[in-house]
Structures are given as structure tokens and as C-alpha cells.
Copies of this chain bind each other. A is one copy, B any other.
Amino acid sequence: MAEKKLVEAITSMEEDFAQWYTDIVKKAELIDYTSVKGCMVIKPAGYAIWELLQKQLDERFKETGVQNVYLPMFIPESLLEKEKDHVEGFAPEVAWVTHGGLQPLQERLCVRPTSETLFCDFYKNDIQSYRDLPKVYNQWCSVVRWEKETRPFLRSREFLWQEGHTAHATAEEAEERTIQMLNVYADFCEEVLAIPVIKGKKTDKEKFAGAVATYTIESLMHDGKALQSGTSHNFGDGFAKAFGIQFTGKDNTLQYVHQTSWGMTTRMIGAIIMVHGDDFGLVLPPKVAPIQVAIIPIQQKKEGVLEKAYELRDRLKGSFRVKVDDTDKSPGYKFAEAEMRGFPLRLEIGPKDIEEGKCVLCRRDTREKIEVSLDEVEEKVRDLLGTIHHDMLERARTHRDAHTYTAKDMEEFEKLFTEKSGFVKAMWCGEQSCEDMIKEKWSVTSRCIPFEQEQIAETCVCCGKPAKKMVYWGRAY
């Protein structure tokens, strides 16, 4: 049977999570591989998710005064080198253009891995006076990082993202914007993607190349691995000094600007898969589902069935993203396909339903079936989409909390990372040597120093010296 074949074709997530992930990105037609190693095609079903994500994140940015711009994709080598920490962080993983047309270039250009240096070069001329501040710019573009190991959405040589870059008159204002954007990301993840996050600060070891402070939101995938889901950096005046970005203040003195940057990428599609997906396929949060209601006619050749399906579509399409599957596949196959693609609601309508003036709504997240009177379809769909979002977020939170452990000492820590998979909260002395050792031994990294601190023990989980901070530890994508 076609239905069975489709479903059997995915590996179960318990059996092999990595294979399950790969099966979904292919079977739900999100991506395709290409002749360019480590680069992917984002197919219509994948790109439509990105468009919805982009639109809603962009609206939230603009509400805080962000303006969009577009800067070149190339960075001259000398420009990349101006900020020491930054170039050290990125030079090993950039792609270099050495020829333009038939001529070798006088200076090679890297394809942007991130655009701090370009924004600095631009701000240097664009900012003269305190009247020109703040600059709160963002761009939507693709960037390139020459990764060795790649995985669709999670780590690819080219990926899509937004990068915000701001310049401010004072250190306080820069710090405020850094935190403000972290909160925009956190709210967006919960309210749009139904993904709960932990907000915190990165340790010095894990912070962005060139930043004074990096803030992060960390989420937990179904397999207990962590995913860094958005970062916001405060640069202080480090880049400003390296690039000479100065302005005349109100007091007529020459001052350096204070800068921030913040980014979120297509890897969030990977997060959606790994937080919400199940063995039947993708489960899309309603707000980024390109199809929210898939209408599937039963016995569609019988008189009046397709007409009723179209009528329902026309009633719903003003408020929801709806599609009728009127192909000649069997209903069973269509059900399985709609499940694989993660559409939040399936609406089944057949001759008997029409006679009785009802239809069946099936939730993708719980697979629960609900009989609904045809008079109340709009209302019921609206309610259910709200409920689905709410329940998906709560299930993800429950799962995360159930996979968040505490370790008071090394023995507990080791046991947890040997037997369990998830976040481990443990105390830390503040020394990088402890992070290094933990990473080397268990491939575990500090995910963040959470804003919400707890006192789990008095001493560092690693070295036993007095502890300074509680840290979330985990294995990460």
C-alpha cells in the first residue's frame, strides 16, 4: 500500500536520530543535495517556511526601529584583517576569490562569512556626528563558511541568515540593544516557532571572534543535543578603534562608537524538525506552516465532494493558508503525505460528512480526530491552530525540562553525560582550562551562563575550586 510505503521509508527517531533527520529533509522535500559539496538546494517546501519565518522576524525587527540595507558579498583581505581577533576566528574558514573575469585580482576577496568588517568600513564614512546615531541596520543575505562536516540546515557551506549591525553613542545603549535583540529572538522562538529557549551569556571561550560579550539563546533538540539558536554580540568600541569609527559628541569631543551585531539563520528550520518532528515526519508550528489546513476529499469522484472541498477552501483562504489535495492519489496516501509535510491540520470531507453537515479535522501534533459541524469550521480551525501552537510549545518545554539535569560534582557530571542526553546545569570556576578539559573528555561544551542563576554547589564541577557561575553544559549541533 502506498501509504505504508511512504511512512515505512523513514527511519524511526529512536533507532537512528541522524538518519531520521536526513529522511525528513528529503521526504518532506525541504532540500536537495547539489554538485557543490556542502551546499544545498532549499526546495519550495523548505523555502516557504523560511519566507514565513523571515517575514515575522523582520516585522519584529522593524517594530524596534531596525532598517534593512544591503552590503557587498565580498570583503577585501586587508579589510578582514583589521580586527585581530575577528580575522583569527574567520580566516581559516572563508572562501577566496582570486580572479575576476580573465584577470587575477590585485587583492584577493573573501566571500563574507559575516559582515562586521564591511559595516565598519561603511559606518566609518556614514557616521560623523551624534546626530547620525544610533544606526540600527540589518541585512538578509547568504554567507559562506568553508565547513568540513556539513548537514542540511544545521551546518552548510552557504546558508541564509539575517545579520543586524548597530552603532551607538554610548556603551550602555549598545548593551541595551544587544539584550533587546536577544529578547526579540527568544520571544520569536517561543511565539512563532513554539521552541522554548534558555537565555544567557557565552563564556569567553565560546564568544564571537571580536566580541566583548556574546549572548545566546539555546534550545534542546529531541535527541537531547543543544542547538545555539540565535546570538547577539556586544563589541564595545573594539571594532570602532580598529576601523576608526568616530563621531563628534554633543560636548564637541571626538568619540568612538559602540557596536553590536546579532544573527539568526536557516538552521532554525533544522531546529523545527528536531524539536517538533516525529516518526510520521515533519510537524510544523502553525505560524510558519506554508499550508495550515490540508483539505483531503474522500471519494472525491462522487458528486458534490470536490465542490464542497473547494467551497471550504474558499471560505477558509481569507484567514488561513489552505490547499485542497485533489490529485488522483488515494486518501490514505494523501493523509501520509500531509503528515510527512507537517501541515498542522488535515480536513477530511466525504459524501457521508456532507450529508451530515460535518467534516473531520485531524491535528498533526497529536493525530487526534475531531468532528466539526460545517457551520463552525472557521472558528474551530482558528481555535485548533492556537491550541496546537500552545501544546507544541508546552510539549517542547516539558521535554526540555525532563532532559535538564544538575550535577554537583564530577562523578555526577560524568554519569549524566555517559547515561543521559540533555542539558546539565553545573557550577563553574570561570577558568577556560575546565571548559577545555570537559570538552576534550566528553565533547561537552558550555552552552551559556544563564541569566537565571541557581546555586547548585559551592565549587566548580571540574576543578573543585570556588564556583563563580552556574553554567548550562551540553553536546551541541
- In chain A between 36 and 84, which residues have their CB closer than 8 angstroms to a CB of chain B? 36, 39-44, 47-48, 50-51, 67-76, 79
Taking the closest CB of chain B, its distance from the CB of A64, in whole angstroms, is: 15
Interface size on A, residues (CB 8 A): 51
Contact check: which of B32, B72, B92 meets A125 at CB < 8 Å? B32
Provide the residues of chain B in CB contact with A69, threshold 8 Å. Answer: 41-44, 47
* 9 pairs, A vs B, C-beta closer than 8 Å: A32-B126, A34-B121, A36-B74, A41-B122, A47-B70, A50-B70, A95-B97, A95-B101, A96-B98
Chain B: CB-nearest residue to A156: B72
Provide the residues of chain B in CB contact with A68, threshold 8 Å. Answer: 44, 47-48, 51
CA–CA, A74 and B34, complex, Å: 10
A137 within 8 A of B: yes
Chain B: CB-nearest residue to A290: B67
> Is the CB–CB distance between B102 and A92 below 8 Å?
yes
> Is the CB–CB distance between A101 and B158 below 8 Å?
no
A468 within 8 A of B: no
A93 within 8 A of B: yes
Stretch at the interface among A141-149, A244-252, A403-411: A141-149
Taking the closest CB of chain B, its distance from the CB of A416, in whole angstroms, is: 35
Provide the residues of chain B in CB contact with A44, threshold 8 Å. Answer: 67-69, 137
A94 within 8 A of B: yes
Give the number of times this chain occurs in the complex, counting copies: 2
> Is the CB–CB distance between B111 and A97 below 8 Å?
yes
A residues adjacent to B (C-beta < 8 A):
32, 34-36, 39-44, 47-48, 50-51, 67-76, 79, 92-102, 109, 111, 118, 121-122, 125-126, 137, 141-142, 144, 146, 157-158, 160
> Is the CB–CB distance between B73 and A144 below 8 Å?
yes
CA–CA, A48 and B139, complex, Å: 12
CA–CA, A1 and B71, complex, Å: 34
- Please name 16 further chain A to chain B contacts, defined as beta carbons within 8 Å, in addition to the given A36-B72, A41-B71, sorted by A numbering: A32-B126, A34-B118, A34-B122, A39-B72, A41-B70, A41-B72, A42-B70, A48-B67, A51-B68, A74-B95, A96-B97, A97-B97, A98-B98, A98-B99, A111-B111, A141-B142
> Is the CB–CB distance between A158 and B73 below 8 Å?
yes
> Is the CB–CB distance between B76 and A35 below 8 Å?
yes
CA–CA, A75 and B35, complex, Å: 8
CA–CA, A380 and B39, complex, Å: 52
User: In the complex, which of the residues A40, A48, A100, A122 has the most CB atoms of chain B within 10 Å of its own CB atom?
Assistant: A100
